[in-house]
């Protein structure tokens, strides 16, 4: 069973390499951000698979921290990419 878990972790690592290629190629910032999310999710999966194969309970804590960082990164991206909403309480300026 440990061999299967380590093989699955290796496969997930290969998909991380594909995500790195997408970060380099782009073409848009949204594509790059989705790739960062892929790397974050796959990093969590690799940590959990390798931790289960090796019997390391601390891998779950590290995986949780990585998942939180990935979530915060996506929120920060959306906040920076969204244009500000104009105040609707103000009256429009008249010429």
Structure tokens at 85: 């909403």
Does the reported pTM lie above 0.85? no
Integer-rounded Cα Rg, in Å, for the chain is: 20
- Euclidean distance between CA atoms 94 and 45, whole angstroms: 57
pLDDT-flagged residues of the chain (< 70) = 87-95
- Euclidean distance between CA atoms 64 and 40, whole angstroms: 11
pLDDT attached to residue 88: 65
pLDDT attached to residue 86: 73
- Euclidean distance between CA atoms 45 and 93, whole angstroms: 54
């Amino acid at each position: 069973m440990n061999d299967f878990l380590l093989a699955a972790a290796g496969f997930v690592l290969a998909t991380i390499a594909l995500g790195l290629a997408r970060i380099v190629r782009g073409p848009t910032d949204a594509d790059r951000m989705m790739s960062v999310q892929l790397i974050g999710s796959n990093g969590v999966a690799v940590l959990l698979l390798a931790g289960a194969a090796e019997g390391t309970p601390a891998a779950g804590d590290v995986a949780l921290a990585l998942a939180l960082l990935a979530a915060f990164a996506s929120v920060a991206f959306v906040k920076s990419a969204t244009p500000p909403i104009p105040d609707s309480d103000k009256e429009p300026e008249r010429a």
